Chain A
Amino acid sequence: MPLSGTMDVAAFAATAKLAEIHGFKTGEWTLKGAQILNVYYEADNDLAREMMPVTVRPVIPAYVMFNVTHYPESPVGPFTIADVRLGCRAGVRPRGFTLASYVDSEAAARELAHRWGFPARVGKVYLRAFHDRVAGRVTTAEGKLALEVEMLDRDFISGGDIQYVSSMHLCRNREDGKLTMAQCDPEWTFSKAERGRPNLISFDSASWNAGDKVRPNWPISASYAIADVTLAKIRYVSDPHQDAFRGTTQVAA
């Protein structure tokens, strides 16, 4: 039968720094001129599956998304965020399950966690576009290098060629204290898009709530884009103990 995630959600929640989401009533944020670096690698399938709640199904081959985005403006000022996500399916829909996020602004980390359930913590997050590459780097608050990734050989493509997927955030709902999976459905309006060669220089799985379970093993692709991003209000939440097909609730139109 089709495979499902096998994560022990309670055990994960006990050790990971999950967000506390303040209900599902947030308004949307429109963030202009975001610079987005996305690097995809294939990963060990069996281990990746252990890092997904039963809500989602793994993709075969498993793939991991390294995302570093700089938002030059937002309601809480500029910030840069990095996420590590596992490619998955909620029902038959493509999604990314976010293992952890690092944000270089305490205010932004707090708002992203409370509004959309991002498993965000503060760290040093770096993103720069050079003439020959785009580089992203994440260092934890304790000074540990968590991620260093880059896109080489920059080449123009169309924004329409890029297929980002929505993300799923395991978080605790402040209203009832229960764990939930909040789905974040951003919209992107591209003004520039590039593709290049992915290069993962350093990745510490443990820094992303994943112990040694996420093992990138083969490069797929890298893209860099400039886009206006709308973090829309949350429309769907899922029970982390049930398949999304059965355990998904619509909370907004």
Chain B
Amino acid sequence: MKFGIFYEISVPRPWDPGVEKRVFDNCLEQVALADELGFDSVWAVEHHFLEEYSHCSAPDLFLTACAMRTKRMRVGHGIVVCVPEFNHPIKIAERTATLDILSGGRLEVGTGRSATWNELGGFRANPDETKRTWDEFVRCLPKMWTQERFGYQGRSWSMPVRTILPKPLQKPHPPMWVAVTSPGTEIDAAERGLGSLGLTFGSVREQEVKIQNYRKIIANCEPVGEIVNNQISTVNFLFCHEDTEKGNKIGRRMLGSFNFLAAQLLAAREAYPTKSYPSLGLLPTLRKEASGPADQSGVPEGIAIGDPERVLRACKRWESVGVDRINFLLNALETVPQEEVLNSLRTFARHVMPHFQDGSAQAAAAGGGR
């Protein structure tokens, strides 16, 4: 099991001058500490127009800053939107290769297609087409990274033969992932030999079925790249505090803030009838999180909030169903004061990480276990 941190970069109103800088600075301070403590990776979303929920519209720049402040952590796009109205594929290949070089070969490339009308409508992208354009992009990217010269005539985009520069430092190329929100996307990931980057908060049982499916299918995949990335990553919240009551209370406040923020987004499916988006994105799982079964702490099953013992139990539960990595959201709307976020990271590294094979090695290497 490996542990990472995951950023939406949520900025609360009022948006007085400097508030965004303060939030970005807090995030970068957390990243630097997480690197010291032995966390494996930092991920950043690409979102546009999502007021308060996410101000992370230029993740490559944020991740570059992360790479400059860290020594070991991998830096991950979670995800790059593979829709031409958002990002031209040549620019994706160029920017990711540059980030891989600048980070010393520490890049992970998550791919996806956006799930909100806020974003799809804002860029005037056609929701019916996004699955197809994503598929084209993920097949082209490895070739653009590895072939000296590349030309392409496709459905959503084409280019004459050119040399796309620079090339990534990692050989043959950085590991690739797919954001898994809609049901069935884990199958798309497995068929293409891509890692499954879970971005919803479904129950452990629901995820277990998806994981079993994924493992079966990826065993016989036709990889789109030169490597198969057989890994399952899931996203979770983290607030770990030695005082049980405080851990639960602050963590639940963060969870509630995130749910309300996410609920304000307009899911593509809600606004635009299409086969392309078979679910309401985060909304159905948020519903469960808001009203679903919880243990005596009041925190839903599988959520890494509470004292170290509870957080350990939650992480072990995910490990037991075959998850390889957990990426943690550390804050929402800055509801958790920065000092508490940093303490939560330290507490997790000291009391929870050592109970995991990779986590233990990470923490020991970084002195987090002391």
Contacts and interface: CB of A to CB of B under 8 A. Distances in A.
B336 to A, nearest CB: 14
Given A2-B264, A91-B263, A63 B271 contact: yes
Given A92-B283, A94-B280, A223 B266 contact: no
Contact of A59 (B260, B266, B280, B333): B266
Contact of B266 (A60, A157, A193, A218): A60
Main secondary structure of the interface of A (DSSP, over half): strand
Contact of B273 (A42, A94, A162): A162
A221 interface: yes
Interface residues of A, number: 30
A63 B266 contact: yes
A137 to B, nearest CB: 23
B118 A161 contact: no
Interface string A82-98: 00000101011110000
A42 B121 CA distance: 10
B264 A58 contact: yes
Given A61-B118, A92-B283, A87 B260 contact: no
Interface string A67-90: 000000000000000000001010
A57 B266 contact: no
A193 B280 CA distance: 19
Interface in B39-60: 50-52
Interface in A112-153: none
A60 B260 CA distance: 12
Contacts of B280: 94, 163
Interface residues of B, number: 31
A232 interface: no
B212 interface: no
Given A1-B12, A1-B333, A59-B266, A92 B259 contact: yes
A163 B269 contact: yes
B290 interface: yes
A2 to B, nearest CB: 4
A32 B347 CA distance: 60
A89 B263 contact: yes
Contact of A60 (B51, B257, B274, B283): B51
B265 interface: yes
A60 B259 contact: no
Given A92-B283, A94-B283, A220 B272 contact: yes
B21 interface: no
Nearest to A87: B266
B286 interface: yes
A79 B272 CA distance: 27
Given A59-B264, A94-B280, A94-B283, A223 B273 contact: yes
Contact of B270 (A58, A60, A163): A163
A16 interface: no
Nearest to A243: B260
Interface string B326-370: 000000010000000000000000000000000000000000000
B261 A2 contact: yes
A60 B333 contact: no
A157 B273 contact: yes
Interface in B115-143: 117-118, 121
A218 B274 CA distance: 19
Contacts of A107: none
A206 interface: no
Given A1-B13, A2-B52, A165-B270, A92 B275 contact: no
Contact of B290 (A2, A91, A221): A91
B317 interface: no
A24 interface: no
A202 interface: no
Nearest to A157: B273
Contacts of A60: 50-51, 118, 264-266
B121 A57 contact: no
B51 A94 contact: no
Contacts of A61: 117-118, 121, 266
Residue of A42, A163, A245 most packed against chain B (CB within 10 A) = A163
A181 B272 CA distance: 27
Nearest to B122: A61
Contacts of B261: 2
Interface string A22-55: 0000000000000000001010000000000000
B287 interface: yes
B113 to A, nearest CB: 17
A121 B264 CA distance: 31
A3 interface: yes
A158 interface: yes
A40 B117 CA distance: 12
Contact of A92 (B51, B121, B287): B287
Contacts of B262: 92
Nearest to B124: A218
A169 interface: no
Nearest to B127: A221
Contacts of A59: 264-266
B96 to A, nearest CB: 30
A89 B118 contact: no
A117 to B, nearest CB: 23
A195 interface: yes
23 contacts: A1-B12, A1-B13, A2-B257, A40-B271, A58-B264, A60-B118, A61-B118, A63-B266, A63-B271, A87-B270, A92-B259, A92-B263, A92-B283, A94-B267, A94-B283, A157-B273, A157-B275, A161-B274, A161-B275, A163-B270, A193-B273, A195-B273, A220-B121
Given A92-B287, A221-B272, 8 more contacts: A1-B12, A42-B121, A91-B263, A92-B290, A161-B274, A161-B275, A163-B273, A245-B290
